[in-house]
């Protein structure tokens, strides 16, 4: 009878040890899954932020290009009107010059950020 009791006690100890290792494995697995989900979410958020930043830079660049195109067309028109009107600095020319400096500052700052 003692022999059977000791075998039952051994079986219970081995079963408890197996259950403990099984629960530990499940816990580690679920922790790894949660960490992977969190990392994936963080990566998606970082990607969205970088895409938004890139889109913002492209918008600024497109704005700068359109400003330069507008200034170029104004400059071309001013050369066509140069023979008719010899006024050196009109309000439009002063505004255009201001736009050029602002656009070049934006382009320079975007170039520095890109580096």
Which candidate, 57, 52, 48, 47, places its Cα nearest to that of 113? 57
Model confidence at 101, pLDDT cuts 50, 70, 90, reads low
Alpha carbons 60 and 67: distance in angstroms, whole number: 10
Decide which of 111 and 25 is more confident.
25
61 neighbors 107 (Cβ within 8 angstroms): yes
Residue-range definition of the domain harbouring residue 102 = 2-114
If one counts the domains in the chain, the total is 1
pLDDT by residue (tens digit) across 56-86? Answer: 999 999 999 999 999 999 888 888 765 555 4
Quick one: pLDDT at residue 43?
Answer: 94
Give 78: exposed, middle or buried? Use CB within 10 Å, 0-12, 13-18, 19+.
middle
pLDDT by residue (tens digit) across 17-65? Answer: 999 999 999 999 999 999 999 999 999 999 999 999 999 999 999 999 9
């Amino acid at each position: 009878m003692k022999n059977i009791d000791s075998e039952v006690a051994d079986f219970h100890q081995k079963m408890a040890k197996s259950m403990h290792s099984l629960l530990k494995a499940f816990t580690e697995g679920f922790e790894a899954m949660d960490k992977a989900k969190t990392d994936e979410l963080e990566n998606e958020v970082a990607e969205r932020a970088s895409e938004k930043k890139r889109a913002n830079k492209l918008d600024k660049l497109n704005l700068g290009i359109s400003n330069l195109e507008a200034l170029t067309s104004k400059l071309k028109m001013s050369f066509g009107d140069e023979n008719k009107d010899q006024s050196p600095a009109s309000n439009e020319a002063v505004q255009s010059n201001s736009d050029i400096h602002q656009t070049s500052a934006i382009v320079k700052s975007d170039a520095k950020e890109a580096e």
